[in-house]
Amino acid sequence: MRQPLVAGNWKMNGSRASVSELLGGLKSGIGAVNTAEVAVCAPFIYIPDTQMQLDGTAIKWGGQDVSTHESGAYTGEISAQMLTDFACHFVIIGHSERRAYHGESDALVAEKFTAARAAGLVPILCVGETLDERERGVTEQVVARQLDAVIEHCGIDLVGEGVVAYEPVWAIGTGKTASPEQAQEVHAFIRGRLAANSQAVADATRVLYGGSMNPKNAAELMAQPDIDGGLIGGASLKADDFLAVCKAANR
């Protein structure tokens, strides 16, 4: 059975003070959350504080992006090794905001996946269609293209060492959640795509849903057979909301 995973993506939010308060709330509330794996992906600059506060708790942490390079003259970049230096477990790869605002291509995302795994990080690979793509009926083609780029570059076994997150772009930060049926349909498609390469990887790989997941809709989404947890934006910024989503993931 796949262990559910709930990961918070704080994006570019918070201050040193608010991060400390949020982590304090998560630490005191997490005791009641048991079977699901829980993580927060912090802005780089708050990762040291996150490590200090979460060390020794059941909550893991990670970054929101990573360089393809190991080290060198890459101003502004953060390497996978630097993330592991601060005991990061996860790193988000290919978030739609990075694809859209930083021009990240499928090929670059695949290279980032490789760099993350090489350092021992667990990549959370984001895929998902825009509203325009959904309306044009090309959701599956888009998701297949994004997924296949990584499978072809890294090999299916390496992909199986990561996590996939289906995040329909039109549902991110909009309050418009995919219905459980809509999400399940794409999750099943993703699992089928993995199965076409390896049934074992398809069976073992967690596929998270992301896009306006919150305490109200989390249980229903996570009850779907191919939804193994969530990648949570807005609702991960409030300890009570995030913990409620984590509880909804318990099996």
Q: Minimum distance between the CB of residue 236 and ligand 13P, rounded to whole angstroms?
A: 7
Catalytic residue among 104, 111, 133, 167: 167
Q: Which is nearer to ligand 13P, 82 or 169 (CB)?
A: 169
Catalytic residue among 37, 95, 133, 187: 95
The CB-nearest residue to ligand 13P is: 233
Q: Which is nearer to ligand 13P, 160 or 168 (CB)?
A: 168
In the residue annotation, 95 being an active-site residue is answered as yes
Q: Which is nearer to ligand 13P, 104 or 197 (CB)?
A: 104
Listed in sequence order, the residues at least 6 apart from 134 whose beta carbon sits closer than 8 Å to its beta carbon are: 168, 170
| Per-residue buried b or exposed e for 203-234, using 16+ beta carbons within 10 Å of the residue's own CB | eebbbbbbbbbbbebbeebbebebbbbbbbbb
Q: Which is nearer to ligand 13P, 160 or 233 (CB)?
A: 233
Cβ atoms of 68 and 109 within 8 Å: the answer is no
Binding positions for ligand 13P, rule: CB under 6 A? 9, 95, 167, 172-173, 210-213, 231-235
Q: Minimum distance between the CB of residue 56 and ligand 13P, rounded to whole angstroms?
A: 26
Q: Minimum distance between the CB of residue 72 and ligand 13P, rounded to whole angstroms?
A: 29
Cβ atoms of 113 and 153 within 8 Å: the answer is yes
Q: Minimum distance between the CB of residue 167 and ligand 13P, rounded to whole angstroms?
A: 5
Residue in the block written with tokens 């934006």: 233
250: three-class secondary structure by DSSP:
coil
Listed in sequence order, the residues at least 6 apart from 221 whose beta carbon sits closer than 8 Å to its beta carbon are: 177, 178, 180, 183, 209, 213, 227, 230
Active-site positions? Answer: 95, 167
